[in-house]
Chain A
Amino acid sequence: MRLSLPLFGGLALILIVLGLYVGLLASPPDALQRDYVRIMYVHVPSAAVAYLSFAAVFVGSIGFLWKRRVIYDQVAHSAAELGVLFTGLTLALGMIWGKAVWGTWWTWDARLVTTAILFLIYIGYLLIRELAEDRERGARLASVIGIIGFLDVPLIHYSVVWFRTLHQPTSVLRGDIKLAPPMLTALMINLVAFMVLYVYLLLMRIHLERMEAARATLALKGEL
C-alpha cells in the first residue's frame, strides 16, 4: 500500500496531463459534433470506470456474503462510493454534451434512464449502510443490493441495441471501430488515465476503510 499509492498517483497525474493534451489540443474536431466531441474523452472513460466499479461491488458483495471476510465488504463499500461518484460525473458530462449536440439537457432515452436508475440504486446502497443501526446487518443488506443492482449494468450496455434510442451505439467494439485513429488514440489514453486514477482512488478509499475499522476497534477497547 505504501509503495503502490504514490506509484499509481504519479502515473495517474502523468496520464491525465497527457489525456488533457490529446483530448483538448492534439485530436481533431468531429465533422458533425465539431469540438464538442472532446467531451466524449471524459464522458466515456468516466462511464467505463463506473461499470468497473460496480463490477468490483458485485464481486466484493458475493465474497462478503460467501466468506464473511470484512475485506470483501471494505472493497465493495469503497468501490460503490467511487461508482456513484463516476456515474454522477458520467450523467453530468452526458447532459452537457446533450445540450451542446442534441439541444437538450435530458431526454427519456433508454440509455439515460437506465444509467440514472443505476445511480439511484447505488445511492440506496450507500444510504442503507449509513442508516443501518447494526453495521454487520447494514453490510449484508448492502451486499444484496450490490449484487442485484449490478444486473442494471448489462441492461445499460445493451440498451442502445435492444431499444430505439437517441444515444449513439457503442463506437469501439472488437473488429468494428467507428472512430478515426487520432480520436481513438485520445479516447484510449483518457480511458487508461481514468483507470489508473480509479485504482489510485480505490486504494486510498480501501485504506480509509481499514483505518476506520482500526479506530472503531480502539474505541471498543476504550482507547479513544
Chain B
Amino acid sequence: MTPAYIVAAYGIAALTLLLYFWRLRRRLRELEADVREHVAPHTPETLIAR
C-alpha cells in the first residue's frame, strides 16, 4: 500500500501550521521592535537622560 496520501495529509498539515506560526512570529517581532523603539524615548529614564 502506498502511503502517499498519508504523507500528503500530514505534510500539508505540518507545513500549513508551521508557515502560519513563522509568519505570526516574524510579524510580532517586527511590531514589538517598532513599538519599543518609539515608546522607549518616553520612559522616565530616557526623559531624564535628555
Q: Which residues of A contact B (CB under 8 A)?
A: 20, 24, 34-36, 38-39, 42-43, 46, 85, 88-89, 92-93, 96-97, 99-100, 197, 201, 204-205, 207-208, 211-212, 214-215, 218, 223-224
Q: Chain B residue with minimal CB distance to A23? A: B10
For the residues of B in contact with A, the DSSP-based class is helix
The reply to whether B6 and A35 form a contact with Cβ atoms under 8 Å apart is yes
- Which residues of B sit under 8 angstroms from A224, Cβ to Cβ? 34, 38
Query: Which of B6, B16, B20 touches A39 (beta carbons < 8 Å)?
Result: B6
The reply to whether B5 and A211 form a contact with Cβ atoms under 8 Å apart is no
Task: Give the 8 A-B CB pairs with smallest separation, nearest first.
Answer: A100-B5, A211-B31, A39-B9, A96-B9, A223-B38, A42-B13, A93-B9, A214-B35
Q: How far is the CB of A191 from chain B (nearest CB, A)?
A: 14
- Which residues of B sit under 8 angstroms from A100, Cβ to Cβ? 5
The reply to whether B20 and A85 form a contact with Cβ atoms under 8 Å apart is yes
The reply to whether A42 and B35 form a contact with Cβ atoms under 8 Å apart is no
- Which residues of B sit under 8 angstroms from A214, Cβ to Cβ? 35
- Which residues of B sit under 8 angstroms from A20, Cβ to Cβ? 10
The reply to whether B28 and A208 form a contact with Cβ atoms under 8 Å apart is yes
The reply to whether A204 and B28 form a contact with Cβ atoms under 8 Å apart is yes
The reply to whether A207 and B28 form a contact with Cβ atoms under 8 Å apart is yes
